[in-house]
Structure 1
Amino acid sequence: MLKLTCCLSLPHSESFTADHKPLMGEAPEVRGFFLGCGFNSAGMMLGGGCGRELAHWIIHGRPEKDMYGYDIRRFHNSLTGNNQWIRERSHESYAKNYSVVFPFDEPLASRNMRKDPFHQVLTEQGCVYQERHGWERPGWFSKDGPAPVLSYDYYGAYDGPKNTDDKYRALLGKEYTFDFPSHHHVLKDECMTCRQGVAVFNMSYFGKFYLSGPDAKQAADWLFTADVNKKPGDTYYLAIGGGVAEHNWNHIRTVLQDQGFTCTLVDHSEDMGMLSIQGPKSREVLQEVLDTDLSNQAFPFSTHKVVNAAGHQVRAMRLSFVGELGWELHIPRDSCLPVYNAVMAAGAKHGIINSGYRAIDSLSIEKGYRHWHADLRPDDTPLEAGLAFTCKMKSSIPFLGRDRLELQKKEGLKRRIVCFTIDEKIPLFGLEAVYRNGVPVGHIRRSDYGFFVDKTIAYGYIRNPDGANPDFVRSGDFTLERMGVTYQAKAHLKSPFDPENKRVKGIYD
């Protein structure tokens, strides 16, 4: 006879996590200690599937499905020991448990925990911030003056004082829509200025790690799919998106330990700022600031140099995540504001502007650049994501996951990512169904409006058991379903914007 024992918890004894999601996976502090807790009164609903994935995690080192949203490594270590952050964010998560989830909502609780050197000057210029991994990063820039994030007022509960003149909360309220937001035209201005002139993006929330030691070359070969081509003993500088910095930090340290590499990984995320200056006029602006030749011959795409900027030493990288000519400047913390002021002064005659991550989202999807945990998840492969060029498959160098990629390449792809455009000016947000000839074949992962091509752009994975090859894409008639309405979509195997990659090379016709 099967006997079931149930335990009922009173409301005051229930536990709720800071984002109302479970805590799962290997503890960052203790190898071999796994967590499966914090189910926020949803244990009966989530226990079966989470238990199965956790068992696979323990046995094989990773779950079968994408469990990133539940992975304990989604929280930065500076936050998990901060009682204010835990108390405020847990309260707000509980208070909003049954609220409608709008696409661009931001928390009001536990803000201003991690601020970069540009925070105050950008606030004064109307920056509307987003919170990621505890960092305040620029979302977009309001034309109506500063909208600082105020201290959490618990929504005016518990007889405490309620915030007044909360411009930030008022702006968020205008985002509570499934249509384009009221400041859609502001995002367009930021994007088009980058495409036609020059814009500055503060990307300081990135994780910045140094990997060094006798086995650094061997470790880099194993960790990274690309051919790093460095001499043994060299130091590697890793710049990683801030939202996944803690996850990457722990993953790298785990691999170093498991493989026995003699290496040191040092975190300098708080010690450095990062500016990205992008657009057709970026070279003209930076040539006045940097003491080096920025021509295509002297400073090719995907190279870097340590140079002086307004008398301060910085690392300049010719890279772009928006599809334009541009450079990233990685700057010691004390030098951030002088370098920023020099860039803005040199760019004034070129119409330089500050721009935020809402513009980056639009510009990057227009170019077809992948976003982690949207276009790319732990259960996707580089081949499926159209990133085979980042893998050193033509070499004989072993790397983590190479055997799986070789097998997948031999068997052929059953799923692949595809770009879709819709002529109607309607917003998509992800999870919309994808139909090919009236048959569902996948769903959208990420979408945004492309202001330069003037279309809604969406990326999603499509499946075909007989092979998701290019002909399967070309021969299909595709539609996307949004809120019960289907829209005709055009499928693209290449980005509809600058498919020949001329602009990142500084070639503007």
Structure 2
Amino acid sequence: MTEFPTSAKTIVIGGGIIGCSTAYHLAKLGVECVLLERKKLTSGTTFHAAGLVGQLRSNANITQLLGYSVDLYNSIEQETGLGTGWKMNGGLRLACNQDRWTEVKRQATTAHSFGLEMQLLTPQEALDLWPLMNIDDVIGAAFMPTDGQANPSDITQALAKGARMAGAQIYEDTKVIDLEIKEGKICAVITEQGRIECEKVICCAGQWTRNFAARFGVNVPLVPMEHQYMVTEPINGVPANLPTLRDPDRLTYYKEEVGGLVMGGYEPNPIPWATKGIPRGFHYSLLDSNFDHFEQLVELSLGRVPALEYAGIKTLTNGPESFTPDGNFIIGEAPELANFFVGAGFNAFGIAAGGGAGMALAEWVHKGEPPFDLWSADIRRFGRPHFDSDWIRTRTIEAYGKHYTMDWPHEENRSGRPCRKSPLYEILKDQGACFGEKLGWERPNWFADVALNETPQDQYSFGRPNWFNAVGREHHAARNSAVLFDQTSFAKFALKGPDALEALNWIAANNVDRPIGTLTYTQMLNDRGGIECDLTVGRVAEDEFYIVTGTGFATHDFDWIRRNIPVGSNCQLFDITSSNAVLSLMGPRARDILTAVTRDDVSNEGFQFGTLRTIGIAGCPVQALRITYVGELGWELHLPVEYATTVYTALMQAGQSHGLINAGYRAIESLRLEKGYRAWGADIGPDHTPVEAGLGWAVKLRTNIDFKGRDAIQTQKTQGVNKLLACFTSDPDVVLLGRETIFRNGERVGWLSSGGYGHTVGKSIGYGYIRAEGGVSAEYVASGEYELEVATKRVPCKVHLQPLYDPAMNKVKT
């Protein structure tokens, strides 16, 4: 062992598979790296992981990340000379009812969209691959040949050896006891062996990560949960190349182990662990086996694998695993502390994600950004509710219990609700609101009509769900009369100071140097031109801007703006989300209604589109923004929360004669699809530029103002692009949800980023990028013939590059 270091550029805390993979990839990038493990490598939770490696997820980039793990595991043994137990023996997933079979077929299409091979099998074909199972209730199965299994400890040791071979230093029995932070910057890591100066820290400490990070103000929402699996003695008929098996309708999974089977699962009533803190000295430790709790999974498994009834049981392993409130892992730079990175909360698929997550973290640390958009796993997806351990635990218990339940479209969480409420919550609830939740906020998704015997409760389906007609009713009201949306949950920021304009014009792709009272729709770009934020900016004073963005992006967008304010700029950013309620009045009768409640001039000449000003409604000062996300005349009315019920009542009373009704977020989605408005996190994001997304008009290239990402956009404007966002329409009986495969002239060219139904055009609508290495232009898009693969079947569709609905022309394009 070399002498204990006194400095290193980057410190990795934690010697499980994520930490060792991160150190391996950092060293490969030439980054000076030291890994510190408080006890022994793998001694936290890695050593007792089950070791199944599946690749398919609902997000293309997470799937790509897991695919990278498989590629790495295929090569690391040869590189290091250490065995890993890696076997690419494929993975089976069963379907035992029609809804599950639909889900599996949609998963197969998602796999095809992302370039993975997934085969649909008959029950007999599945039995041929997995001869021990009973197939009496099996309708079909999916098989992914490139899935497999690994020995978690062995693969971690191989990554550690590879890291050392590339120059990383690894120290076991070296507990990190503190970080040294001066003026908001990490200066050093303090260990039991001494102090190590460093610039960056990557915390991959598994279930210990939350408490450690919290000491420095960093929030990592994860919860240790008990997770059990049993290992049998050898069973006749178990071949060494037996595929892994997931039987979600019976909540169980299986893999081969030395001629026997490993069987585990995800029970609906999981047990959180260490609710009062992880015991001191916990390493290479397991929990007491809980046979009574595991019995429910055994009973389910016997119906699938009858041989288990007579198999000898070697062990029932009970070990804690880190789970998160939404079932996805946590990765990225903490918004609360610069140069503090996190890789934790892997929800029992840390072995599958380990190779790719380590690669992504290393790239993020080395280059200042991830290799591709990882928003669904980004630490900045969390917000205020996720600071409370009790709320996190409640939601995580639900997420664990739903690990193998049906992945219904539009499914909402039930636990930890209500948490954050608009002042109108009870009023809207009494009027039939069926609420959804985002970042803790209760938001009306749709409104039930009691006169039509509708109940404000979601009934999920892969077809048209029970709220379809209600959403259609709200949609048509928005197009023909008026609706009122409660959008209080919008994230709202104030940027103030003498340098606010200069700073914001550097961060924003569009020009915000406009008169006071002007609104600017803009993206904020990374250096590759990718869209990091998509928001509205209102200039309310010479030195002050009001910024509005989506509910779920509050932490992310605030962090992006704050980090990119030029050093030395005299301006400050404030989160004022909770100060203002928002009522969005939209529809062709919106002006009539607003005129009835205010003395201010809201005529087209007096209150033009893209402007904002303060008006009075029922004695309340209201910041009115004339803007729309649904494609109709309308205003977002931003007002102090204490006035919300007063203004709401005034609007509803004035709107009675104009057909005004309440409407929810699912109508917003239907309306925006028809109008072609993009959704960040789906249609646009860090991997998509405004040029590719058809938003080049919102970029200030015609000015001489420099802005972040300008060079990349200028290059694309000159050289062209390899993908373009397009709209696709198909027959109304085709249900589009997103991730359906796009075929152009019979060749796969992409997948849908979002999907839904347009109640005005009477068609199913999807958006997705058409890709081609040789370049994609509007002419290229228009010249092709297109099909969509939906649940493994191809259906014809039409392509569009212009909005389907144009209210100015009162025209629907089909």
Tell me, yes or no, whether TM beats 0.5.
yes
Q: In 2, Cα distance between the equivalents of 1:501 and 1:34? A: 49
Deviation string, structure 1 residues 91-145 (Cα, Å, up to 9, x no partner): 0110011112111110011111111111111011111111111111110011239
Is the CA contact (8 Å cut-off) linking 1:64 and 1:379 kept in structure 2?
no
Residue equivalent to 1:352: 660
Q: In 2, Cα distance between the equivalents of 1:337 and 1:138? A: 16
Residue equivalent to 2:344: 37
Is the CA contact (8 Å cut-off) linking 1:196 and 1:280 kept in structure 2?
yes
The 5 Å alignment of 1:143-162 reads 143-144=449-450
Q: Which amino acid is 2:362 matched to?
A: A
Is the CA contact (8 Å cut-off) linking 1:370 and 1:376 kept in structure 2?
yes
Q: In 2, Cα distance between the equivalents of 1:290 and 1:25? A: 47
Q: Which amino acid is 2:412 matched to?
A: E
State the number of aligned residues: 477
Q: How far off is 1:2 after superposition? A: 3.5
Residue equivalent to 2:543: 234
Is the CA contact (8 Å cut-off) linking 1:215 and 1:233 kept in structure 2?
no
Residue 774 of structure 2 aligns to a residue whose secondary structure is coil
Deviation string, structure 1 residues 289-337 (Cα, Å, up to 9, x no partner): 1221111111111111111111110101111110001111001011111
Deviation string, structure 1 residues 437-463 (Cα, Å, up to 9, x no partner): 111111011111101111111100011
Q: Which amino acid is 1:43 matched to?
A: G
Q: Which is further off, 289-298 or 92-101?
A: 289-298
Percentage identity across aligned positions?
39
Residue equivalent to 2:508: 224
Question: Which of 46, 52, 65 lines up with 2:353 in the alignment?
Answer: 46
Residue equivalent to 1:282: 590
Q: In 1, Cα distance between the equivalents of 2:727 and 2:318? A: 46
Residue equivalent to 2:704: 396
Determine whether 1:92 maps to 2:398: yes
Q: Which amino acid is 1:221 matched to?
A: N
Determine whether 1:438 maps to 2:746: yes
Structure 1 stretches of 4+ moved >3 Å: 1-12, 230-233, 500-504
Task: Say if 1:374 and 1:501 are closer, same or farther in 2 by CA, change over 3 A.
Answer: farther
Determine whether 1:120 maps to 2:414: no
Residue equivalent to 1:363: 671
Is the CA contact (8 Å cut-off) linking 1:24 and 1:35 kept in structure 2?
yes
The 5 Å alignment of 1:122-137 reads 122-137=428-443
Question: Which of 560, 573, 576 lines up with 1:251 in the alignment?
Answer: 560
Residue equivalent to 1:150: none
Q: How far off is 1:469 after superposition? A: 0.5
Determine whether 1:372 maps to 2:680: yes
Determine whether 1:269 maps to 2:269: no
Q: In 2, Cα distance between the equivalents of 1:376 and 1:382? A: 8
Is the CA contact (8 Å cut-off) linking 1:210 and 1:237 kept in structure 2?
yes
Q: How far off is 1:12 after superposition? A: 4.2
Q: Which amino acid is 2:407 matched to?
A: V
Deviation string, structure 1 residues 66-85 (Cα, Å, up to 9, x no partner): 10011111000x22221221
Residue equivalent to 2:331: 24
Gaps of 5+ in 2: 1-79, 85-152, 157-283, 287-316, 516-540
Q: Which amino acid is 1:462 matched to?
A: I
Is the CA contact (8 Å cut-off) linking 2:499 and 2:543 kept in structure 1?
no
Q: How far off is 1:253 after superposition? A: 1.3
Task: Say if 1:264 and 1:502 are closer, same or farther in 2 by CA, change over 3 A.
Answer: farther
Determine whether 1:293 maps to 2:601: yes
Q: In 1, Cα distance between the equivalents of 2:662 and 2:654? A: 14
Q: In 2, Cα distance between the equivalents of 1:31 and 1:306? A: 38
Q: In 2, Cα distance between the equivalents of 1:70 and 1:405? A: 27
Question: Which of 364, 379, 382 lines up with 1:75 in the alignment?
Answer: 382
Determine whether 1:185 maps to 2:469: yes
Is the CA contact (8 Å cut-off) linking 2:497 and 2:571 kept in structure 1?
yes
Q: In 1, Cα distance between the equivalents of 2:808 and 2:707? A: 28
Question: Which of 453, 456, 461 lines up with 2:769 in the alignment?
Answer: 461
Q: How far off is 1:54 after superposition? A: 1.2
Q: In 2, Cα distance between the equivalents of 1:252 and 1:269? A: 15
Residue equivalent to 1:161: none
Q: In 2, Cα distance between the equivalents of 1:236 and 1:451? A: 36
Q: How far off is 1:201 after superposition? A: 0.6
Residue equivalent to 1:138: 444
Residue equivalent to 2:364: 57
Q: In 1, Cα distance between the equivalents of 2:445 and 2:570? A: 40
Q: How far off is 1:503 after superposition? A: 6.7
Q: How far off is 1:24 after superposition? A: 0.7
Deviation string, structure 1 residues 320-364 (Cα, Å, up to 9, x no partner): 110001111001011111011000010011121000000000000
Q: How far off is 1:501 after superposition? A: 4.8
Q: How far off is 1:244 after superposition? A: 0.7
Q: In 1, Cα distance between the equivalents of 2:739 and 2:598? A: 44
Residue 306 of structure 1 aligns to a residue whose secondary structure is strand
Question: Which of 735, 745, 759 lines up with 1:451 in the alignment?
Answer: 759
Q: Which amino acid is 1:21 matched to?
A: N
Residue equivalent to 1:105: 411
Q: In 2, Cα distance between the equivalents of 1:448 and 1:18? A: 26
If you compute each CA radius of gyration, which structure gives the higher value, 1 or 2? 2
Is the CA contact (8 Å cut-off) linking 2:753 and 2:767 kept in structure 1?
yes
Deviation string, structure 1 residues 219-272 (Cα, Å, up to 9, x no partner): 11011111111479510000111111111011111112x633221111111111
Q: In 2, Cα distance between the equivalents of 1:88 and 1:187? A: 30
Task: Say if 1:341 and 1:503 are closer, same or farther in 2 by CA, change over 3 A.
Answer: farther
Residue 411 of structure 2 aligns to a residue whose secondary structure is coil
Is the CA contact (8 Å cut-off) linking 2:728 and 2:765 kept in structure 1?
yes
Q: Which is further off, 48-57 or 411-420?
A: 48-57
Q: In 2, Cα distance between the equivalents of 1:468 and 1:103? A: 31
